[in-house]
Structure 1
Amino acid sequence: MPSNISHTWYTTLVAQDPNNRHAIQRSNGCWSVIDYSAGLRVLDLHNEAKAFDFNTNNIYNEEYNRNSGYIFSRNQEKERALIPLLPGYVVFTAAGKKWFKLSILERNNQLLFLWEEFGLDTSYTNKKAQGVEQLAFHCMLKEYGLESNNTIRSLLGLYDSQTINKLQKLVHDKFPLQYPTIFQQEPS
């Protein structure tokens, strides 16, 4: 990110709705703001524990990934490896010297991924481009040339254990018998 960009953009966004927004710092030092004001929802497809897989041929990605509701987290034990993607999850973040608002939506029990690009506008008021896709922002990352150095998990702030635990708990609360150990919270 250019050094002249204000480092307080995230505090301004959080201050606009402190009950529903919080800032987290990514491993690369950049900040993201997660916004829960739309309300998180668990869908029936989250009962299947199917993760997006982008290793298959691009022609088959959309069909293969239909009904996926998770991303796979490497470097974790198997039972803690699935991170739910829930409608209502919104994140404000930066990637490739541009500012993005990424939203997970739902239509007909299918996940949709809305991305909005704001150029250098840290106030998120002057939208430059947008798109909706079914591949967990994978197409947006390719379009902006970000797939090699920015992961979907990082952009969505899904490396923060508190955020991951919150999402997993919501799924576990709705489907406690299907996956009794995958999302169970560890004793405090």
Structure 2
Amino acid sequence: MEPTATSIYAFSDTKPATEEVQVLLSLTKFTALCLATGGLYGLWWQYKTWRFFKQRQQSDIWPVARAIFSLFTINELFKNIGRFSGSVGLVPAYNAGNLAVGYIILSLLARLPDPYWLISLFAFTCLLTPYQQFAAALRQSSEYPTREQAGFSLRQVGALIFGTLIWVLAFYSLAQPT
């Protein structure tokens, strides 16, 4: 019997190919990691979330490409999170289009000259509500195993230390006279 294609928007009839345990961080830890890594953790979260939807929908999307080109795919990610949370009985707590526009504008501000590019660091704030909505939907769903992460993992501690050192050096160089 040949497999049938499923719509990427079908949420009730699809079963994930593998049931990977979804590790959930507190909002404080997510924020700390996003700030310390200059937003790179936000891209990592987008990759992991796209990978979840790829497995859930059994689609052929490329999560890495979708995370790298997030300026073009963030709206669809926010919509997918909204549909997923709706499928488990939660009401979406945000407008996907508005948050996507905010994320794109704040991300593009990285092209500003010193020190104004620092405003772009706050692009991750547009990820906070979808992050919370996605985590709440995973907790609500009985289909997907979740685990609350108590502390930071070793890799996360490494990212925090490395990121903090980079920020110290960046602010030091910004403070130097030209």
Q: TM-score, normalised by structure 2?
A: 0.29
Which of the pair has the greater relative contact order for Cα pairs under 8 Å at 6+ separation?
2
Greater strand proportion: 1
